[in-house]
Amino acid sequence: MPEAAGLYYEEHGAPHAPPVILSAGLGGSASYWASNIPALAEHFRVIAYDHRGTGRSERALPARISVDDFADDILMLMDALGVDRTHLIGHAAGGVAGLALALKAPERLDRLVVVNGWASPDPHFLRCFEIRLALLRLAGPKAYLRAQPVFLYPPNWVSGHGDDLDAELTHQLERFPGADTMEKRIKALAAFDIAHRLGEITARTLVIASRDDMLVPPIAGQLLAAGIPKAGFGRPEYGGHAVNVTDADNFNGFLVDWMTGVMPQ
């Protein structure tokens, strides 16, 4: 099993193609990107990884963690793999990790894509985090994971994929990182606030904010894009929080066009 700096990772595509790192959301799993990797691998050296504390990566976490720690993990992974500079595509937690990286080490980052992310805490997603933590504390991991699709996917998509979601639940339970880890990760995300520093981000950035995101309201992405000097903004009508999964074909086409420069920047 490939591992670097305590992080599980996998690579796809030509080894000498421009690198792009994929950083998942709260669940932290490289497998989150399964619907997107083949399209990206036609153009890039794709590196997907499990966040520290989750999946197949090292599970031990310190007493307190921050989004800056997420960015440090990306830098350690890059150093271990000999990657001097990379594109990064991040979903939610992975997107804010990319923003932290853009501020911490701008010379290491080329293009940045933030999917349904934010620059500062929003009352709506803080309320959603509280609900999810209450489920985890009071009803346990199975109830927490069964409720997860309500926040991630559009209702019609959930209705049409009930069997798949039920089957996936077994694997999610087997790999669940534990309540303590999820508490730490959510606390780190809730504390992330760089609204006053957005003007310092020099990376060419694409912010994608789904209109029907039930977890992170699209206004959060709108404000994020408005504050970054070289930011483009995409607003899918459909797809929910996990738009790269629920509308993968449209998402992949839009993303690859922007990443390769086909779409006007």
Listed in sequence order, the residues at least 6 apart from 51 whose beta carbon sits closer than 8 Å to its beta carbon are 7, 23, 24, 28, 29, 57, 70, 73, 93, 94, 185
Six-digit token pair at 230?
């070289």
CATH superfamily for domain 3-259: Alpha/Beta hydrolase fold, catalytic domain (3.40.50.1820)
Which residues of the chain register pLDDT less than 50? Answer: none
The pLDDT of residue 203 is: 98
Task: List the chain domain ranges.
Answer: 3-259
Strand runs (DSSP E) across 19-118, as ranges? 19-23, 45-49, 86-91, 109-115
In tens, the pLDDT along 162-189 reads: 999 999 999 999 999 999 999 999 999 9
The pLDDT of residue 142 is: 97
The pLDDT of residue 261 is: 84
**CA dist., res. 174 & res. 178, Å (int):** 10
